[in-house]
């Protein structure tokens, strides 16, 4: 992310779009702040309700949130609700803090924002070459050049940024390298032995956990329960057999770990939206070769 762009703060209030149907951009800014005068108390502001993402380009500042103090340096951002119990401020040592920020009205975004902040926490490492950082910079440039001219454009911009934040915040769950070793080992076991697995109790025991603790830990790391993860693997494995072999549905079911075709067909329909037979024939459905679950 470049730091040579002009400084400024741009506010937006559009009357051409109905508030309940569009995402609302409140402000975009690029600032350099220093000294004790730059300090915001999240309970003392009168411009809420708002959602704030503030991304550091150079220098650093601090965020107090949940009883912790986070140092927000280059390539790091914080995400907070306004109003809420937090405070962010420039370095007491006087170092200049350069950052970009975006303020959004929460209407229609509450659930997305909750998912994002639950995954990232109040402070997040966001690489300068990431889509999130690039979109934030592009949005500021658009504002500085007078290109955000109506609520439709503003809503589209907000939607793109929020979708990238969702994708960014969920990426760690897709990357096994970030999973705890016991969960990663269990997931690899599920992937390798999905057709002939023992009960989940044994997998939990191998991971050194009780069944309930294993389920909670697995879900927290991956976004799936162990049973959901196993089902995902089995359904994905069934696609090639359904498309590339002439095995009866009953045999496909057994090949991917199900005891019979009836139960397999019910699970397949729940996950894919139609029956294994319709998937195989392409009848009344798009002739899919593969379906991605995530």
In degrees and rounded to multiples of 5, residue 280 shows phi and psi of: -65, -45
Give alpha helix (H) positions in 145-206. Answer: 151-174, 181-192, 200-206
Q: What is the pLDDT of residue 267?
A: 95
Cα gap 277→249, rounded to integer Å: 7
Among candidate residues 98, 104, 165, 84, the one with its CA nearest the CA of residue 132: 165
Q: What is the pLDDT of residue 54?
A: 98
The number of beta carbons lying within 10 Å of the beta carbon of residue 209 is 18
pLDDT digits (tens, 9 = 90+) for 211-241: 999 999 998 888 889 999 999 999 999 988 9
Q: What is the pLDDT of residue 294?
A: 60
Q: Taking the chain (294 residues) in consecutive chunks of 10 residues, what is each chunk's mean pLDDT?
A: 74 78 92 95 94 97 95 97 97 94 95 90 92 96 94 94 90 73 92 88 92 91 90 92 91 94 94 88 58 60
Q: What is the pLDDT of residue 198?
A: 76
**Token output for 39:** 């300090």
Q: What is the pLDDT of residue 83?
A: 96
State CA 166 to chain mean position distance: 3
| pTM for this predicted structure | 0.67
Q: What is the pLDDT of residue 174?
A: 67
Q: What is the pLDDT of residue 5?
A: 64
pLDDT digits (tens, 9 = 90+) for 110-164: 999 998 998 888 999 999 999 999 999 999 999 999 999 999 999 999 999 999 9
Angle at alpha carbon of residue 44, lines to 84 and 21, rounded to 5°: 55
Cα gap 39→36, rounded to integer Å: 7
Q: Which residues of 212-246 are buried (b: 16+ CB within 10 A; e: fewer)?
A: eebbebbbebbebebebbbbbbbbbbbbebbeeee
């Amino acid at each position: 992310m470049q730091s040579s762009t002009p400084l400024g703060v741009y506010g937006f209030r559009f009357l051409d779009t109905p508030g309940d149907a569009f995402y609302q951009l409140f402000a975009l800014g690029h600032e350099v702040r220093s000294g004790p005068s730059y300090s915001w108390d999240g309970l003392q502001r009168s411009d809420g309700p708002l959602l704030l993402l503030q991304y550091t380009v150079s220098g650093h500042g601090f965020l107090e949130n949940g009883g912790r103090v986070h140092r927000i340096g280059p390539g790091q951002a914080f995400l907070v609700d306004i109003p809420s119990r937090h405070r962010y401020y420039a370095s007491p040592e006087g170092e200049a803090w350069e950052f970009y920020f975006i303020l959004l009205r929460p209407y229609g975004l509450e659930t997305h924002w909750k998912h994002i902040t639950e995954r990232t926490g109040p402070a997040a490492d966001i690489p300068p070459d990431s889509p999130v950082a690039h979109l934030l910079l592009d949005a500021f440039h658009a504002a500085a050049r007078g290109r955000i001219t109506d609520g439709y454009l503003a809503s589209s911009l907000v939607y793109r940024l929020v979708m990238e934040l969702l994708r960014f915040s969920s990426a760690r769950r897709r990357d096994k390298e970030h999973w705890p070793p016991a969960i990663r080992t269990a997931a690899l076991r599920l992937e390798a032995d999905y057709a002939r697995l023992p009960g989940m109790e044994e997998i939990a025991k191998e991971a050194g956990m009780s069944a309930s603790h294993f389920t909670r830990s697995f879900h927290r790391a991956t976004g799936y329960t162990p049973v959901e993860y196993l089902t995902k693997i089995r359904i994905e494995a069934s696609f090639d057999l359904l498309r590339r072999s002439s095995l009866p549905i009953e045999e496909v079911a057994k090949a991917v770990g199900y005891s019979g075709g009836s139960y397999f067909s019910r699970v397949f329909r729940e996950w894919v939206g139609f029956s294994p037979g319709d998937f195989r024939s392409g009848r009344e459905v798009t002739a899919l070769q593969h379906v991605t679950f995530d």
